[in-house]
Amino acid sequence: MKPIDLKTHCLTCNKRYIILLIIFTVIILAFMVIAPIATVSFHNNNPTWSDTFLKPTKQIIVDVTELKVAIAQTPEEITQGLSGRSGLADDEGLLFIFDDSAERTFWMKDMLFNIDMIFIEDGKIVDIAKNMPKPKPWDWPATYTSKSPADMVLEVKAGLSERNGWIIGDSINYQN
């Protein structure tokens, strides 16, 4: 039986340990670089709709405040909503028009700014979700379900409903 040279054997173990440590460090560093890039690419993967979809084309009056609104009516437009858009002016909004009246659930998927959601039924505000937060990286987007049935939902810049004093029962004037 041949004796083991402990000095050579320990050097071999140390070399393996150092190689494994280097590989592990490279993997960790690669993850730290790739993960933020992957988050951005997955976060901004929403389709781009036509320019006319998000251009305000109609006028709406909430209580006494006049707004220019774009209209979301098709399933694609309703799905897209304001996702991916960088913001809204104080006098702009997106109006969702539905064929029926039901409790409405909205979520903040791919939103880049906070909004207020105004739920409307028969020309009256029935609920307001104030300052709905844009999602943070790796967070599940916030959702909100209206407390009453609604046939329209108006999305506006966060804080606009509070600054204008909108409350449940305020009238909405919109002509199709």
Tell me the pLDDT tens digit for each residue of 68-78: 999 987 888 88
d(CA 116, CA 50) in angstroms, rounded, equals 24
Q: What is the DSSP letter of 3?
A: P
Domain that holds residue 73: 58-174
Structural domain includes residue 132:
yes
| Whole-model pTM over 0.75 | no
Residue 52 lies in a domain: no
In a domain, 25, yes or no: yes
Do 30 and 68 fall within a single domain?
Answer: no
Q: Which residues contact 26 (CB under 8 A, 6 or more apart)?
A: none
pLDDT band (50, 70, 90) for residue 41: very low
Q: Is 23 helix (H, G, I), strand (E, B) or coil?
A: helix
Question: What CATH number is given to the structural domain containing 110?
Answer: 2.60.120.1140
Residue 47 is predicted with a pLDDT of 44
Radius of gyration of the chain (CA): 26
Would residue 53 count as lying in a domain? no
Looking at residue 40, what is its pLDDT?
42
Same domain, 111 and 143: yes
Give the per-residue pLDDT at 67: 94
Asked whether residue 50 is domain-assigned, the answer is no
Has residue 167 got a pLDDT over 70?
yes
Q: Report the range of poorest mean pLDDT among 14-18, 106-110, 134-138.
A: 14-18
Q: Give yes or no: residues 26 and 82 share one domain.
A: no
Nearest to 159 by CA among 101, 96, 87, 90: 90
